[in-house]
Amino acid sequence: MIQKLTSEARAAQLGQLDGWQVTEGRDAIARSLQFADFNEAFGFMTRVAIKAQEMDHHPEWFNVYNKVEITLSTHEANGVTERDIALARFVDGIAKAASET
């Protein structure tokens, strides 16, 4: 079974990510994103969804118009694992590309 990261390892990984924070009261990480409009937000979500399905690792998220809030945690480990960090890295790459167009 995959092991959750220690709080030190999690903090070190968060330092390499863009805008992710530890969720209060829960071993999870979260990031809020804002796009130009709903079309951009949903396009982003579609790219993340395809990656998540490939990884068999899925985000918890909330969308309203151009805002997307994403929370990542690994249910089977009941905490943040390397899988969450890998998906967070992917999210950061997609978000950066979207903001640069």
Q: Which residues bind ligand H2B (CB under 6 A)?
A: 56-58, 73-76
Q: Which is nearer to ligand H2B, 40 or 47 (CB)?
A: 47
Minimum CB separation of residue 37 from ligand H2B in Å reads: 27
Minimum CB separation of residue 1 from ligand H2B in Å reads: 10
Count of helices and strands (H, E) across the chain: 3, 4
Q: Which is nearer to ligand H2B, 39 or 78 (CB)?
A: 78
How many CB atoms lie under 10 A from the CB of residue 52? Answer: 18
Minimum CB separation of residue 83 from ligand H2B in Å reads: 7
Tokens of 87: 């998906």
**Residue ranges of the alpha helices (H) in 1-101?**
7-16, 38-55, 82-99
Q: Which is nearer to ligand H2B, 37 or 76 (CB)?
A: 76
Q: Are 90 and 20 in contact (CB under 8 A)?
A: no
